[in-house]
Amino acid sequence: MVLPWNAIERLRDHFGDYVVLVTCRACRHSREIRPAFLARHCRAGWDEPLANIIARLRCRCGKKLVDVQIGFNRKPRGWVKNPS
Ligand SMILES: [Zn+2]
């Protein structure tokens, strides 16, 4: 199950139970990043907005043109598809 990156607002969303899938638009290199790894490298830790992290992402080739998606192993707990 893959969602656009903006399905996550902060790292702590969905209990950090997801992976950040980063694909470079220049060289097509892709990698998976665990939110726990990102939290250790952010000033705000688990409260860091994902948008801030994505703005800093850079591929190993040096390009900043990356596509970011959120991968779930399973349907997230407490997931509300259409919050009212
Ligand atoms: Zn690249």
Distance between CA atoms of residues 41 and 54, nearest Å: 13
Q: How far is the CA of 35 from the centre of ligand 1 (A)?
A: 21
Q: How far is the CA of 80 from the centre of ligand 1 (A)?
A: 34
Q: How far is the CA of 68 from the centre of ligand 1 (A)?
A: 13
Q: How far is the CA of 66 from the centre of ligand 1 (A)?
A: 8
pLDDT band with cut points at 50, 70 and 90 for residue 1: confident
27-79 pLDDT tens trace: 999 999 999 999 999 999 999 999 999 999 999 999 999 999 999 876 655 65
Half-sphere exposure of 34 (CA within 13 A, CB side): 4
Residue 81: is its pLDDT beyond 90?
A: no
Q: How far is the CA of 78 from the centre of ligand 1 (A)?
A: 35
